Amino acid sequence: MITLFRLTQTDTREYRFMEELLTAAFPPEEYRELGELRRLTCGRPVFHNNLICDDDRPVGLVTFWDFGDFHYIEHFATLPAMRNKGYGHRVLELLGERLRTPLVLEAELPVEELARRRVGFYARQGFRTWPHDYRQPPYRAGGEPLPMVLMFKGDPHFEECFGTVRDRIYREVYGC
């Protein structure tokens, strides 16, 4: 059975598992400094850092922000050996059932084959791409913004909220 285990302490083996998977699954420009991630995990109630577990065995991670009227999924990854086993679908289904607000996430522009497959995966899960330019602000000082697509799932009228959603993510997640 798939469960989410919320991490609230950073001195555990579960947290070390999450950090190792995050740094292996994403290039450095796509995640924040690890010290800042630790501070968010312990001290920001709107930030949820979760292990994805299958029968209490960690198989992935999902971090998200609870903004009340929508949830922003910041990072989502499974162990390489656990990919293509349905975990992604089941976790997104679980989040939709539990959170009951529109879900928002960023994905790389569908230029490279892997990025096309990732965007296609999210589309098959019911996510729609906002038809607006979007740039992920840099996580690190001196970094460059990354062109991405912003996708959402939920209320079809939510499409009209692109500017509000983008601005909230920029302000709360990236601090700009």
pLDDT tens for residues 58-76? Answer: 999 999 999 999 999 999 9
Strand partners, 151: 105, 129
Three-state SS annotation for 119-156:
HHHHHHCCCEECCCCEEECCCCCCCCCEEEEEEEECCH
Say which CATH number the domain at 41 has. 3.40.630.30
Structure confidence by residue, pLDDT tens digits, 120-165: 999 999 999 999 999 999 999 899 999 999 999 998 788 899 999 9
Provide, for the chain, the percentages of residues in helix, strand and coil under a 3-state DSSP scheme, each rounded to the nearest 5. Answer: 40, 30, 30
pTM for the model: 0.95
Radius of gyration of the chain (CA): 15
Give how many domains the chain has, as a whole number. Answer: 1
Mean pLDDT of 74-100: 95
Residue range(s) defining the domain that contains residue 147: 2-172
Residue 117 CA to its chain's centroid (Å) = 17
